[in-house]
Structure 1
C-alpha cells in the first residue's frame, strides 16, 4: 500500500463533542466521520482495524466449531412478541412499520431470529449440538449516544448462539465459547479480565463479561489479586463487616441535626465516623388494584446501594421504583433526609444489609425534620428487620468471597459477554427437538456476543499517549510505516524505500510506504497519531552513512541501523508490539 494512493485525512483538533481519548483520536486519525448522533462512517483506516478484529474472531469461532451464517438487520415484530420482549425491551428497541402497516424492529440482538431458525431447521437430537454465529450491524436507540464508537447507536457485533440437548451439553458449549473468547482477546493484544456478571435483559442463569481494563471504563470490576476471582461490581457479593452484633452501650436519644440531610453531614455534625450512621432508602412496589407497598432499605452510611441485588430480593424481584415524596411523608411523617426505621407512621417492610443487621448504637433519621436518633439498637429500640440480605456494592478492601485475600477494584470496558440462557427463548418460541425416545424436548441455549466496533475504541483507550494511538500489532491498520523523506528529490531514497517495502511485504508484513513527499515533521506527526507499531525513516543523509532509522511506537528514540539489518530489526520490534 502506498500513502499517495490511500485516503489519509487527519485533523489537528478533535471536534468539540469528542469527550474521551478514543473518540478524539479516531476522529483526528481519520478513522471515523460522524453522520448523525451515535452513527458513524468508518473510513478506510478504521475499517482496516475492524476487518483485522473480525478475522481473529472468525478464526477462533471456526476453530471452536461454530458455523457462520447471516441474519437480517430488520426483523419482524411477531418474533419479539412471541418472546415477550416487544414490551419488555424498552425504547432502545427501534420499532417501525413497513408500507403495509406491519411492525418490524431494527435488530439490537438476534435471540428471536436464531431461535426461529433452530425450531424450523433442527428436528432431531442427532442435529445437536450446534452453534451458529454471525457478524452483523446492530442498532440500539440510545437516549444519549456518546463516546464515539464506545456507546453509539449503530455498531457491529459478533453474536453466536448454541443449541444443546441438555444442561450438561449446554454447559460444555458455554465453556467452549468462554475458552474461545479468552483466545480472541489474548490474540487482540488487549489487557482484559473475564468477570462473573449479571445476565441483565438477555436473561439466563450464568454469565461472564470480558472487560478491557481502562480508566475511562463505565464498569467497575472487583477482583482478588491473589486468585482468579473477578466479578462485575453488580454481581460481587459484599460480606458482612461486623462478625457479631454487640450489646447496646448507650441509650437512644433524639438530637438536633438542622440541614443535615445526608449521612456525611450528620457524621460531621455529631463528630462520629460515617460507618456509625445508617442511611434509609425508600422503595415502592405495585400490584394492580392495590395501594403501593412501601419498603425501607437500610445501608451503612459509607456504603452504596446495588440495584441489581435489590432486584433479586423476594417481593422486589418483579419490579420496583423509588417512592414518591408524598408516599414517604404518608408513611414516615416527614420529608426525605431524616428518615429511619424507628416510629414510622404507617407499617413498612424493613430490609437491612448484612452489615447493618449487626450494627449497634447506630445513628439514623428520627422521622422528624431536623432530627436524628443516636444510640439505636435492634430489638431494644426497633424490631429485627423483615429480611437481612446483601444490598450494597463491595468496596476496596472487602474480604474476597473465596477467602484468599481482600478485594481490589478497577475500571473496565465491556467488549464481550457470554450467557447460558437455558430454555428462556426455546420455551417462548417452542423450539423443540425429538430426543432418543422420540419425545419432544426444549433446546438448551447459550448466547455469546463481542462488540467488534467497541473493541476499536476500547483498544485505543487502553493504548494511547499524548501523540496519538499506540496499536497492538494484531489490530493496527498497518504494522509498519516507511517514511520516505525527500521522495521526489532523491533516487537513492526511492530505491531504498522500495526495497524495504518489497522485503517486508515478502515477509507477510502489513506495510505502507509514505511516498507523499511531505515535510518530515508533518509525516512523523501523522504516523504517531495513526499509531502503527513501527516507523522506518529513510532519508538521503542517513543513506549517505549507510543507515536508516527504525522506531517502535512505544519507544522515544530511533535506532540507526544499516539498510541490510533494517528488516531484522523491524521484525524484532514487531514481536514485542
Structure 2
C-alpha cells in the first residue's frame, strides 16, 4: 500500500480524555475515532490489526474442533425470559421495542440464542459432542465507558458454546478451550495467566479468566511466579487426547484476581515466588452444566432412550479488547511496537527523497519483491521531511523499517530498523531484502 493513497489521520496532541496508553496511541496513530461514548469507528490501520487478531483467534478455534457460524446482534426478549435472565441481567442490556411492539435486545452475549438453535436441530446423543462459535459485535451499556476499546460499550467478541451429553464429556470440552486460549494468546505475543474466576451473570460452577499482566490493568493480580513462563502447547497438541493433566498442572499453582483473592492461600506461596501486579482480562471460559438447557428444554435422547438436558459451556475472547492489551504490552515513548503476526503492515518502506531516480527505482523493486513474498508493505512515498517520516513510522509501530535515500545509496547501502529493539543496521539492498524477508516469514509461522 502506498501511503499517499492510504487513509491515516494522525493526531499530534494526546487527547485529554485518553487516560491509558493504548487509548492514546490508537487515537494518535489514526486507528480509531469515537462516534459516541464507548463506541468507535475502526479506521483502516486499526481495522487491519483487528482482522489479524480475529483470524488468529479463528484458526485456534478451528484447530480445537469448534465450528464457526454467525448469530445476529439483535435477539428476541422471549428467549431470555425462557432462561430467566431477561430481568436479571440489569441495565447493561440495551432493550429495544420494534414497530410491532415486540421486545428485542442488542445481545450482550448469546447463550440463549445458541441454545435455541441447537435444540431445534439436535435430537440424539449421537450428534454430540459439538462446539459452535461466532465472532460478532456486542453491546453492553457500561455506566462509565472508559479506556478506549478496553471498556467500550460496543465491542467485538468471539463466543464458543459447547454441547455434551455428560458432565465428564463437558469438562473435556472445557479443557480443549483452556488449551486453545493459551495457544491463541501466545501466538498474539501475549503471556496470559489462567486464573479461577467468578462466574457472574453467565452462571455455572467452573470458570477461568485469562489475564495479561500490564501496569494499567483494571484487576489486581496475585499469582505464582512459575505461571508467567510456563510452556504453551505447540501446534502438534492432540485436542482429542487427555488434556486434563495439562490443565490441572496450570491450575494447581495459586493465581487469582482481587475478586477471588484469598490472603491465607496466597501466603502459602513461597515469598520469592509471589507476584502482585495489575492485569487485563482478555478471555473468560465457563462450564455451567444445564443452567440454560434445562429451563429452555434443550434435550437429547440418551443411550437408554430417555431425554436429558445437554451439558453446556461458553468461552469468550474480547477480540477488540485484545488490541488494547497488545498496545499496553508493546509500546515505548515513540509509539506502538506491533508483534509481526498482528502488525497492520510488516514493513514500513521509507523513501527519503521521492523523485530521485535511483531511490524511486529501488523502492519500487523492494515493494514488488516483498509483496511477492507475501509480506505486507506500507510505502511512504510522500514528500514529507525525513524526521516526519521516521516519527510517523515509529508511532504506527510497524515491525521493520527499510530506509532508502541518495546518501546511503551512494555507498551501496540501505538502513534497516527493527522497531521492537530499536536496532539499526546498514546492509546492501540484497542483504536488506533477505534479512527482512527471513525475519518476517519465520515470525509468521505458528508455534
TM-score by length of 1: 0.70
Displacement of 1:57: 1.1
Please give the alpha-carbon distance, in whole angstroms, between the structure 1 residues aligned to 2:419 and 2:93.
Answer: 42
Please state whether the residue corresponding to 2:336 is helix, strand or coil: coil
> Of 490, 503, 507, which aligns to 2:356?
490
Match in the other structure for 2:348: 481
Retained in 1: the 8 A contact 2:373–2:437? no
Please give the alpha-carbon distance, in whole angstroms, between the structure 1 residues aligned to 2:51 and 2:443.
Answer: 22
Report the number of matched residues.
418
Match in the other structure for 1:206: 206
Displacement of 1:576: 6.9
State the structure with more CA Rg. Answer: 1
1:549 and 2:415 are equivalent in the alignment: yes
- 1:1-12 alignment, distance < 5 Å: 1-12=1-12
Please give the alpha-carbon distance, in whole angstroms, between the structure 2 residues aligned to 1:409 and 1:202.
Answer: 28
Displacement of 1:225: 1.7
> Of 378, 383, 392, which aligns to 1:512?
378
Match in the other structure for 1:399: 268
Please state whether the residue corresponding to 1:441 is helix, strand or coil: strand
Please give the alpha-carbon distance, in whole angstroms, between the structure 1 residues aligned to 2:300 and 2:337.
Answer: 50
Displacement of 1:502: 1.7
Match in the other structure for 2:303: 436
**Deviations 1:384-425 (Å, cap 9, x if unpaired)?**
xxxxxxxxxx6xxx223xx79753211111011111111111
- 1:110-149 alignment, distance < 5 Å: 110-149=110-149
- 1:278-427 alignment, distance < 5 Å: 398-400=267-269, 407-427=274-294
Please give the alpha-carbon distance, in whole angstroms, between the structure 2 residues aligned to 1:412 and 1:112.
Answer: 30
Quickly say closer, same or farther: Cα 1:437–1:178, change in 2 above 3 A.
Answer: same
Quickly say closer, same or farther: Cα 1:423–1:405, change in 2 above 3 A.
Answer: farther
Please give the alpha-carbon distance, in whole angstroms, between the structure 2 residues aligned to 1:564 and 1:70.
Answer: 46
Please give the alpha-carbon distance, in whole angstroms, between the structure 2 residues aligned to 1:226 and 1:511.
Answer: 39
Match in the other structure for 2:238: none
Please give the alpha-carbon distance, in whole angstroms, between the structure 2 residues aligned to 1:118 and 1:551.
Answer: 52
Please state whether the residue corresponding to 1:421 is helix, strand or coil: strand
TM-score by length of 2: 0.90
1:453 and 2:347 are equivalent in the alignment: no
1:238 and 2:107 are equivalent in the alignment: no
Retained in 1: the 8 A contact 2:123–2:300? yes
**Deviations 1:155-207 (Å, cap 9, x if unpaired)?**
00000100000011101111111111111111111122122211111111111
Please give the alpha-carbon distance, in whole angstroms, between the structure 1 residues aligned to 2:217 and 2:363.
Answer: 41
Quickly say closer, same or farther: Cα 1:405–1:530, change in 2 above 3 A.
Answer: closer
Please give the alpha-carbon distance, in whole angstroms, between the structure 1 residues aligned to 2:154 and 2:203.
Answer: 23
Match in the other structure for 2:365: 499
1:561 and 2:430 are equivalent in the alignment: no
1:183 and 2:183 are equivalent in the alignment: yes
Quickly say closer, same or farther: Cα 1:122–1:564, change in 2 above 3 A.
Answer: same
Instruction: List gaps (5 residues or longer) in structure 1.
Output: 241-393
- 1:33-72 alignment, distance < 5 Å: 33-72=33-72
Pairwise CA RMSD? 1.6
Displacement of 1:462: 1.1
Retained in 2: the 8 A contact 1:198–1:235? yes
Bigger mean CA deviation after superposition, 453-462 or 225-234: 225-234
1:532 and 2:401 are equivalent in the alignment: no
